Chains A and B, each alone.
Chain A
Amino acid sequence: METSTQTQSTAVHSHTNDVHIHEHEHHHHQSFISKYIFSLDHKTIGKQYLITAIFMAIVGMSLSLLMRAQLGWPGEQFSFIGKLLGKFAEGGIIKPEYYYALVTLHGTIMVFFVLTGGLSGTFFNLLIPLQIGTRDMASPLLNALSYWFFFASSCVMLSSFFVMAGPASGGWTIYPPLSALPEATPGSGTGMTLWLVSMSLFIASGLMGGINYISTVINMRTKGMSLWKMPLTVWSFFITAILGVLSFPVLFSGAIMLVFDRSFGTSFFLPDGLVVADKLLNHSGGSPILWQHLFWFLGHPEVYIVLLPAMGMVSEILSVNARKPIFGYKAMVYAIMAIGFLSFIVWAHHMFQSGMNPFLGSVFVFTTLLIAIPSAVKTFNWLTTLYRSNIIFTPAMLYALGFVSLFITGGITGIFLGNAAVDIQLHDTYFVVAHFHLVMGAASFFGLFAGVYHWFPKMFSKMMNNTLGKWHFWLTIISLYCVFFPMHYMGMAGVPRRYYAFTEYEWTSMFTDLNRFISIWALIGGAAQVLLIFNFFWSMFKGKPATANPWKANTLEWTTPIKPVHGNWPGEIPEVHRWPYDYSKPGHEEDYIPQHIPYSETGSSNRKGDY
């Protein structure tokens, strides 16, 4: 039976792409390598992204725990840190230079490799073809290449831990001159070169993925899947992919110029009069602020590349588990579009204190505060979706609720930071750290977690353990708030971020206890992630077998067979007749009506405006 369905799907699918034909001819005697490693199937590629991202997330989180160990117990000798880091932490105390490398790599890995590559790569690949109803991505070959470029870029980034002088240490924004002068700090040498190589590979990967996602969504939707019938997940993925395709190339041009500054003696980003090691440098005429403009032209859309997919998945999960249509579906779509549009014209709010033209400060305050409008639209729509709903507290739902909470908490401080005048006090303090970790870091992670719990049955045909999931959620959210909430107070008191230790001054050393408190909670939060990782890998093999539609959701991916097949649907692709949010529709016996059910079959619940 299974063999025959596979053959059938092969026959339907084999014309899509020349590359595919070759793969399909050998479909029945695929080796492990061609089936799981160099697969062209979008579901497998999605899983590959997820596993890579989990590994990168473990690395990124360990780096932050090392940082917290230093900040919570400055000067304390941890013998295991000494053993782990060797000469970078002689006697168990992390060296200041290495601390900056930890900051840099934590930021880079989390932003690019986990929350961009991992979040987008996993769920775009898994969900776009399944939810819009197509057999695979537009170009499966480019899709696989995109993953392998991502993999290579992850390897290069991780390899920078093993160079003599340590990894890049100029912050994840790699501002010149620190990043442009190989002699500036130990991390500015080979570590920074590897960083740039890795990012170039990453940009290539993102571009190949992005054009693929966009073309797939535009061209390959199944019959009836009009744009206004797409789930909000696909909408947010679509806009995110556009952001990526338009913003990453500008970083690419900036990165090339930086490479020239580093290796070929030009001075695009290097001003006159730089003195390194008591030697006046020959560089002259460049502008470090130009780099900041080029970087943040990517950097701000990047924030939304991280956040928007999480928003889309949370909207979907909230609606499914609240058993209620999403409130204001079109408003949600417009809000996604507005956020995508605004994300391109607000970047200089990261640069209020950089010495740029102060006039631009006022321009960018204006555009920045505009973002509050679509963000508030989304927030209120989530809350009104939940209002008087019949919530089922699955782990995915808990994470979706946690996302909304974190997004509100972190978003409100964004309004403070968006004001150029307030930013004079708050810039580069722990207030900023608290803000972006809550609104972008933790919130997007919650989106990722919600997605993993929700779509795990689709990925591995097994269910994850609910109890472990709930424990994981409560430990994570409590430790998150305990870590990041006190940082607001420290920031308002003026404690600067990126400092190695706060022991020098009276007014900063009064925060030693608070720092220790944060560090302890960070350790608890870190330990809680073991629950997820255990749950993930244990359930993959030993989990309860999944049913076809475990959450009683409407979207198309739940109409596919439990055991995934190549080409997704063994027979014809279902046609779509209705929007994806027909939950608890009055007049219908069940509380959900999947998208592929025609109105002719639901006479009792049809209403006038339905068609």
Chain B
Amino acid sequence: METQTLAHKPIPVYVKSIFSALIPVLTLVLITVTLSAKNVPGGTIAALWIYLLIPAYYVVSRLLSGKQLLTFSHSNESHSHEYVPGDEDRYIVQSINHHLEHHESPVKKFVKVFWILLVVTLIEVGIAYSSLSKMTMAVLFMFFTIVKAIYIAGTFMHLKDETKQFIWTLVLPVFFLIWFIFILLTESGYLLGHRLF
């Protein structure tokens, strides 16, 4: 019987892999964004298909394997985070104490992330001074921005310590923004081509 509670495991591998997978995926998407800025609707077409095919693939594969579309289960039996109305304070104290017991002092980690953020910012400034092409720079800047955002949200905001489902809850809506910027860039590329001076 599994008695470990959900949140207090060491950071599971899948959370790590989500974070590491996000980087190439988002970079790919952002490269496409940049491409579509040149009034080439190809980027938007690709985005449209990625946008619709990923959920479609998910649905089809779940149905084919005979699973339910959404399972809200996460097998563990004793919940330290049981909800009883009126015990919010006790719960918070308990979960903080639990956290403190099972984690060594995170200050080292914070220092590390601080240096990473600083170095990445310096690299960005360095790239800005280099003679790379505008496009290459744009891709690199977006990449490093997302790296920094992930470190801030993941470590400083403790998002990495939250459950996988909560991370997805916050990350998934961002895809609407990616769709939004695709549309706006396709639109402004068209406007650029038709602008009268």
Contacts and interface: CB of A to CB of B under 8 A. Distances in A.
A467 interface: no
Given A289-B187, A293-B187, A359 B41 contact: yes
Given A220-B83, A344-B176, A357 B72 contact: no
B75 to A, nearest CB: 14
Contact of A246 (B68, B83, B88, B173): B173
A356 interface: yes
A357 B86 contact: no
A155 interface: no
B190 interface: yes
A135 B86 CA distance: 9
A13 B85 contact: yes
Contacts of B85: 12-13, 16, 134-135, 220, 573
**Interface SS, A side:** helix
A522 B55 CA distance: 44
A250 B45 CA distance: 24
B69 interface: yes
**Interface size grouping (class) on chain A:** 35 or more
A493 B184 CA distance: 34
Contacts of A12: 85-86
A175 interface: no
Contacts of A334: 69
Contacts of A135: 85-86
A436 interface: no
**Interface SS, B side:** helix
Given A15-B89, A246-B176, A359-B41, A227 B72 contact: yes
Contact of B83 (A13, A219, A293, A344): A219
**Interface size grouping (class) on chain B:** 20 to 34
A14 interface: yes
A360 B183 contact: yes
B51 interface: yes
A334 B58 CA distance: 14
Interface string A11-24: 01111110000000
B87 interface: yes
Contacts of B86: 12-16, 135
A345 B179 contact: yes
Contacts of B72: 226-228
B41 A297 contact: no
B180 interface: yes
A573 to B, nearest CB: 7
A281 interface: no
Interface string B142-163: 0000000000000000000000
A15 B44 contact: no
B190 A15 contact: no
A289 B44 CA distance: 18
A89 B108 CA distance: 73
Contacts of B190: 356-357, 359
A161 interface: no
A65 B32 CA distance: 51
Interface in A227-261: 227-228, 242, 246, 250
A360 B176 contact: no
Q: Which of B52, B55, B86, B190 has the most CB of A within 10 A?
A: B86
A301 to B, nearest CB: 9
B51 A345 contact: yes
B48 interface: yes
Given A220-B83, A293-B184, A363 B179 contact: no
Interface in B65-117: 68-69, 72, 83, 85-89
Contact of B87 (A15, A219, A357): A15
B125 interface: no
Contacts of A356: 187, 190
B36 to A, nearest CB: 11
B191 interface: yes
Contact of B187 (A134, A297, A357, A367): A357
A348 B183 contact: yes
Given A293-B184, A345-B176, A348-B183, A359 B88 contact: no
Contacts of A287: 188, 191
Interface in B164-193: 173, 176, 179-180, 183-184, 186-191
Contacts of B173: 242, 246
Interface in A1-41: 12-17
Interface string A206-237: 00000000000001110000111000000000
Q: Which 3 A-B pairs have the closest CB atoms?
A: A357-B190, A15-B86, A344-B176
8 contacts: A15-B88, A16-B85, A16-B86, A226-B72, A345-B51, A356-B190, A360-B183, A363-B48
Given A246-B173, A290-B184, 10 more contacts: A13-B86, A14-B86, A15-B86, A134-B85, A219-B83, A226-B72, A227-B72, A228-B72, A330-B69, A356-B190
